[in-house]
Amino acid sequence: MTQRTFYRPPTSLEKVRTLGHKTKSDPQVEMKDDSVTTTLLPSILVVDDDPSVLEMLHDALDLWGFDVFLAKNGREGLHVLATQKVDGILLDMDMPVMGGLTMLDELRWLGYPTPVVIMSGGVKRLSQRELMNEGAQGFMSKPFSLSFLRDVCTTIFAKQGVALHD
């Protein structure tokens, strides 16, 4: 069985296509009085070591209008954050190389205010309340429904003033 590696090259949010058609991964472009107004898609980083979870979350979030970045452990997640601005993070707790709690601690130590929602099949060392005290804004127990995921993302992004697409 071959393991799929998920790599998504950085999207070019700085470049705006003003000609041709738009795709979901392109920034939204509106023409007003011969000028171009750019509305960037809300971006989200998904950090999980399970390729099937990454694929499922990528597909759902992309369908809902997110610009999605993927990482398979905390170290890769920090690398993405060093090169891309994201509006939110979905973070698994148990991963090899660097787990979710370590990544969350690093994020806060480095001064990233990005909202983080923890995903876990079971929190062993810390309670949900303790995770919130560590800097997480939400918690989702695996498995979770896609409608619950959408509700969580909508709530987190509404607090930042970002509206999701229907």
Q: How many residues does the chain have?
A: 166
pLDDT band at 113 (very low <50, low <70, confident <90, very high): confident
pLDDT value for 31: 42
> Is 129's pLDDT higher than 70?
yes
pLDDT at 18 over 50: no
Residue 10: per-residue pLDDT = 39
Query: What is the per-residue pLDDT for 26?
Result: 43
pLDDT of residue 131: 77
Could you state, in order of their start, the residue ranges of all structural domains in the chain?
Answer: 39-159
* Mean pLDDT value across residues 79-99: 92
**Residues 6 or more apart whose Cβ sits within 8 Å of residue 9:** none
pLDDT band at 165 (very low <50, low <70, confident <90, very high): low
**Can you give the three-state secondary structure of the chain, one letter per residue?**
CCCCCCCCCCCCCCCCCCCCCCCCCCCEEEEECCEEEEECCCEEEEECCCHHHHHHHHHHHHHCCCEEEEECCHHHHHHHHHHCCCCEEEEECCCCCCCHHHHHHHHHHHCCCCCEEEEECCCCCCCHHHHHHCCCCEEEECCCCHHHHHHHHHHHHHHCCCCCCC
The yes or no reply on domain 39-159 and CATH 3.40.50.2300 is yes
Query: Which tens digits make up the pLDDT trace of 29-65?
Result: 444 445 554 556 789 999 999 999 999 999 999 998 8
Phi, psi of 101 (to 5 degrees): -65, -40
Over residues 112-137, the mean pLDDT reads: 79
Does pLDDT of 2 surpass 60? Answer: no
Instruction: Tell me the average pLDDT of the chain.
Output: 76
Q: Is the full-model pTM beyond 0.85?
A: no
The model's pLDDT over 63-87, given as tens digits with 9 standing for 90+, comes to 988 899 999 999 999 999 999 999 8
For residue 133, what pLDDT is reported?
A: 78
